[in-house]
Structure 1
Amino acid sequence: MVVLAVMALPFAFPTIWMVTASFKPAAEIFVYPPTLLPRAPTGAGYVQAFVDQPFARQYFNSLYIAAVVTLGSMTVASLAGYAFARVRFPGSNVMFVAVVAGLLVPSEVTIVPIFQMFNAVGMNNTHWPLILVSTFGAPCVICTFIMRQFFIALPAELEEAGRLDGVSRFGFWWRVALPLARAPLGAVAIFAFLHAWNMYLEPTVFLSSPELFTLPQALTRFVDVLGSPTWHVQLAAATMTAVPVLLVFLAAQRQFVEGLAHSGLKG
């Protein structure tokens, strides 16, 4: 246990430094020799984060977008994964390979035509592109793969028994498959939430109004009049940004590990 704690320290230290430095005055962050704990703790950076920008609104934007994307990805991935795993139709394997092959295309390649598509329907500078691209884009492909691998392993006898009882495919998915898929759904939830919470390219391309910004985009705007970062404010905002990610992972870490084990993915 002690050995594991020592090995984990290099990975945890940057986060620990971020939290402690967020309580330092700006002049103390880069003093030499460096210190881990603040000499005169202050919460000025946390207060200033809400003064410099509409940070509360931006925080809410990220929260609700991540929540919607997570629920949408869980729904789409579970339905698509069940269809690819349990429904036999012509070209199903070819279609699945084509869907997975979409992961090979970098998002930077498709961002321009996607921008033009949303611009044509008047959705730019709204949150709709962020929600739709994340729910039906590359992150959902990974989620669909995880769900498909789990549903393939379900015993065929379960589905046959459901048909004898008059349960439809949708009814079997809702009543039987989903309750058994809590572990992979936990993995899907974490994947989808982390992607939606951390995405930077899409908000930068689609959003131009500060009140619509998400947190990764907002973090780059904490600068002084000369354009230099206000480090104590950025660190305070980054600390507040990391809290939901830690809470989500701590709440679903067991399901996350089990879900990857069922899918066959290895880190």
Structure 2
Amino acid sequence: MSRRVKLSLYGLLCVLCVPFVFPTWWMVTSSVKPINEIFAFPPTLVPDRWDLTSYSRVFELQPFAQQYWNSLYIAAVVTVGTMAVAAMAGYAFARIRFPGQNVLFVVVLVGLLIPSEVTIVPLFQMFHDFGMSDTHWPLILVPIFGAPSVLATFIMRQFFITLPGELEEAARVDGLGRFGTFYRVALPLARPALGAVAIFTFLHSWNLYLEPIVYLSTPANFTLPQALTQFVDAYGGPMWNVQLAAATMTALPILVVFVLAQRQFIEGLAHTGLKG
């Protein structure tokens, strides 16, 4: 490929990325602008005057540090739990033969077709009866053992299907049982798939919005998506600079994690047959 063609392709990619990069750039720069400059036309790419007070007000108006911790630890627990459950379930569906295996897997996949809005009312009633309303337990248990983990199970099953059977035979010759084969042989090889599952799961839990609104009512228990809606003035109007500052602090860590882990993400999709 000639240098001119490469430069043309890079230029085209730069133009195509503008609709995706500009909203993020506008959010970050507007968080340090005075309110009258946020909606100036034409919009300014770099603030004329930097105002960082919106970042301090985020923590004054809401228990934002606690809410940030809530989202962080919930997403971490859900990610680890989903990886464990999906890895074991995916391995069982891929490598263990039992009657009705394919039928049961289809039933599991049906969970992808059920919108969360359909089940949230009975789930709320169940957790309320158990005394778990206004706690984080529903936000942890439902994603790990409910429909959100179905996609993770599918990804892990597709990966384990591709593993050569000779690996299990060699493990059995060495005296490993079923769980030993899974833990010592299959699981270490599944790092690309586990990386894809981790990113999917963490992003889903981090961005969860409907469920926290239904289950949580105390500001100290809020997660970040729910907390972002609380930055309003006395008349109920949005405090744009404060909201954008909170949104920036919410979004930037996820962008960093995705940039650092994108290689594992792509490898995971390629190994599970989901590429393209």
- TM over 0.5, yes or no? yes
Structure 1 residue 265 displacement after superposition: 1.6
Residue in 1 aligned with 2:144? 135
Q: Does 1:160 align with 2:169?
A: yes
Given the alignment, which residue of 207, 232, 245 partners 2:254?
245
Residue-by-residue CA offset, 1:6-40 (whole Å, 9 max, x unaligned): 21121111001100111101221112332121110
| Residue identity in the other structure for 2:192 | A
Residues of 2 paired with 1:88 and 1:174: CA distance?
A: 18
Instruction: Give 1:23-34 correspondences, 5 Å limit.
Output: 23-34=32-43
1:100 maps to which residue?
109
> Within 2, Cα distance between the matches of 1:226 and 1:218?
18
State the TM-score, normalizing by the size of structure 2. 0.95
1:65 corresponds to which letter in structure 2?
Answer: I
Indicate which of 119, 125, 138 corresponds to 2:128: 119
1:78-227 matches, cutoff 5 A? 78-227=87-236
How far 1:217 moved relative to its partner? 0.2
Correspondence 1:71 to 2:85: no
CA distance in 1, matches of 2:266, 2:218: 38
Quick one: percent identity of the two aligned structures?
68
Separation in 2 of the partners of 1:87 and 1:113?
33
Equivalents in 1 of 2:178, 2:163: separation in Å? 14
Deviates more, 1:225-234 or 1:252-261: 252-261
Shift of 1:67: 0.4
TM-score normalised by L of structure 1: 0.98
Unpaired runs of 5+ in structure 1? none
CA distance in 2, matches of 1:32, 1:245: 30
* TM-superposition CA deviations, 1:28-73 (whole Å, max 9, x none): 1112332121110111111110000000000000000000001011
CA distance in 2, matches of 1:236, 1:34: 18
Gaps of 5+ in 2: 1-9
Task: Read off the aligned partner of 1:43 and give its amino acid letter.
Answer: L
Q: What one-letter code is carried by the residue in structure 2 that aligns with 1:48?
A: R
RMSD of aligned C-alpha atoms? 1.0
Cα distance in 2, alignment partners of residues 139 and 252 from structure 1: 21
CA distance in structure 2 between the aligned counterparts of 1:243 and 1:68, rounded to whole angstroms = 20
Q: Deviations over 1:69-104 (max 9, x none)?
A: 010111011010000000111111111100001111
Question: Which whole-Å deviations, capped at 9, do the CAs of 1:95-128 have from their partners, x for residues lacking one?
Answer: 1100001111110000000001101110010000
Pick the aligned partner of 1:58 from 64, 67, 78: 67
The CA deviation string for residues 228-253 of structure 1, in whole angstroms up to 9 with x for no partner, is 00000000000000122112212211
Matching residue of 2:7? none
Moved over 2 A (4+): none
After TM superposition, list the pairs within 5 Å mapping 1:229-240 onto structure 2.
229-240=238-249
Q: Secondary structure of the residue that 1:71 maps to in structure 2?
A: helix
SS in structure 2 of the partner of residue 10 of structure 1: helix
Moved more, 230-239 or 253-262: 253-262
* Contact 1:139 1:191 (C-alpha < 8 Å) held by counterparts: no
| Count of residue pairs brought into register by the alignment | 267
User: Which letter does structure 1 place at the counterpart of 2:264?
Assistant: Q
1:195 and 1:19 map into 2 onto residues whose CA distance is: 22
Give 1:153 shift. Answer: 0.5
Task: Give the whole-Å Cα distance in 2 for the aligned partners of 1:113 and 1:81.
Answer: 27
Match of 2:47 in 1: 38
